[in-house]
Amino acid sequence: MERVVVTGIGTVNPLGLDPETTWKQALAGTSTAGIIQQFDPSALSVKIACEVRGFDPADFMDFRAARRMDRFQQFAIAATREAVEQSGLDVRAHGERVGVVMATTIGGMYTIQEACRQLLTVGPRKLSPFTIPMLMPNGAAGLVGIEFGARGPAFSVASACASGADGLGSAWRLIRSGEADAMIAGSTDATVCELGMGAFLRLGAMTGGESLDVPKPFDKNRDGLVMGEGAAVIVLESLTFARRRGARILAELAGYGATSDAYHITAPAQDGSGSARAIELALASAGVKPDDVDYINAHGTGTVLNDLSETKAIKRVFGKRAYTIPVSSTKSMTGHMMGTTGALEVIFCMLAIRDGKIPPTIHYSTPDPECDLDYVPNTARTQPVSVAVSNAFGFGGHNAVLVIRAFHE
């Protein structure tokens, strides 16, 4: 089996419009929760979100083309451009052996919302001819392939908030099996709109207060997630291909595990058994022992059920050592970017390995006796990291876990 390495990263998210700015803000423990700017939130009981601010599509793509894209597609193009440029990969020259997996939780939610609004107010004849290309979940994957000339396997993965991790895992498998030499892989979501916010509010999954000191992952007073948005993209290559072209290798994507709770459509298995099994599978596929893990980037949504279930899962896998492994939730800073967080958090793991710094869980003030691990509260920590685990769990009972390792020949 081919080893899979990372040669480029890109992201557009609430912390920043590129990886290095994002990482600097994460280590500083920056909160991005704020009053929603993209629309008037006065009709909503919760008016805060973690938005991508200062994003101009024209900085990353042709302005006219951007007008025919949903926001989630614009994010994908921007993050991909950063990742491909860093990798130095001439995608068109190797196009038939370069694929795309661009995951998304929902697709073009902005477009769905606006199309329904037009349909009900002015009728079907006024719908844009670009409505379907802008809303379809695979639209980002298709546009990335067209924009950069990737002619290998191209598709979208949708497994709720596990989508980004499953997208990377799917790309990892294609390279490991020899079906592709390189993959542009990641996730993109833009759900900070009336439909997205309103629906999650009705579901009861969002924080209910107006304080900006949220979300509060693993804190006793946690009460729900804060909606986020953005994209995160990683260029993955087989070690053989990367060596042949003289690429700079940033890290190794060493393992992937995926399971289903088969329990409930929105709640995780209470004992953490399904997510624990995904962690075990990811470690086994990477050839990594539980004692080798130096850091866990948690799914850590700030919901009562998820944080408790994830804590139990970590204890099931790591036993007593669970109490000595740093576990942090960067969603405390980015908000829950739906599927995208599963990809962005892999980038955080890579940068933690590179710099020997672990990002914090902010907004943590009141320990929960049932969530009693080391959550790196409020302040980043300097500590060597060689092996990191990134957890991603989603509605439907989807569990996806990735293992990231410092690259060694």
How far from 151 is each of 78, 91, 148, 296, CA to CA, in Å? 19, 9, 9, 35
Nearest to 261 by CA among 301, 306, 293, 292: 306
How far from 130 is each of 61, 73, 123, 368, CA to CA, in Å? 18, 13, 16, 49
CB 76 within 8 A of CB 61: no
Q: Is 376 left (phi over 0), alpha (psi -120 to 50) or beta?
A: left
Task: Tell me the domain boundaries of the chain.
Answer: 4-251, 255-405
**H or E element at residue 307:** helix 304-318
Compute the 3-state secondary structure of the chain and give helix, strand, coil in percent, each to the nearest 5.
40, 20, 40
Q: In sequence order, what are the residues at sequence separation of 6 or more whose Cβ sits closer than 8 angstroms to the Cβ of residue 382?
A: 356, 357, 358
Q: What is 255-405's CATH number, 3.40.50.11540, 3.40.47.10, 3.40.50.850, 3.30.420.40?
A: 3.40.47.10
Topology match between the domains 4-251 and 255-405: yes
CB 257 within 8 A of CB 298: no
- The neighbour count for residue 368, using CB atoms within 10 Å, is 18
Alpha helices by DSSP H, listed for 319-401, are: 331-334, 340-355
Bridge partners (DSSP) of residue 190 are 229
Alpha helices by DSSP H, listed for 56-158, are: 63-66, 71-87, 109-121, 131-135, 139-148
Q: What tens-digit pLDDT sequence spans the chain (409 residues)?
A: 899 999 999 999 999 999 999 999 999 999 999 999 999 999 999 999 999 999 999 999 999 999 999 999 999 999 999 999 999 999 999 999 999 999 999 999 999 999 999 999 999 999 999 999 999 999 999 999 999 999 999 999 999 999 999 999 999 999 999 999 999 999 999 999 999 999 999 999 999 877 899 999 999 999 999 999 999 999 999 999 999 999 999 999 999 999 999 999 999 999 999 999 999 999 999 999 999 999 999 999 999 999 999 999 999 999 999 999 999 999 999 999 999 999 999 999 999 999 999 999 999 999 999 999 999 999 999 999 999 999 999 999 999 999 999 999 8
Q: In sequence order, what are the residues at sequence separation of 6 or more whose Cβ sits closer than 8 angstroms to the Cβ of residue 246?
A: none
CB 95 within 8 A of CB 57: no
Task: Record the tokens describing residue 26, joined without a space.
Answer: 């994460």
Active site residues: 161, 299, 336
C-alpha–C-alpha distance, residues 310 and 299, integer Å: 8
Bridge partners (DSSP) of residue 189 are 230
Domain 4-251 has CATH 3.40.50.20: no
> What is the pLDDT at residue 210?
75
Model-wide pTM > 0.95: yes
C-alpha–C-alpha distance, residues 236 and 159, integer Å: 21
C-alpha–C-alpha distance, residues 215 and 112, integer Å: 27
How far from 97 is each of 90, 119, 272, CA to CA, in Å? 11, 42, 38
How far from 397 is each of 106, 133, 203, 217, 392, CA to CA, in Å? 16, 29, 16, 20, 11
> What is the pLDDT at residue 1?
87
Nearest to 170 by CA among 149, 147, 141, 191: 141
Phi then psi for 16, rounded to 5 degrees? 175, 170
C-alpha–C-alpha distance, residues 89 and 174, integer Å: 18
Bridge partners (DSSP) of residue 235 are 8, 184
Task: Record the tokens describing residue 375, joined without a space.
Answer: 């959550």
CB 378 within 8 A of CB 261: no
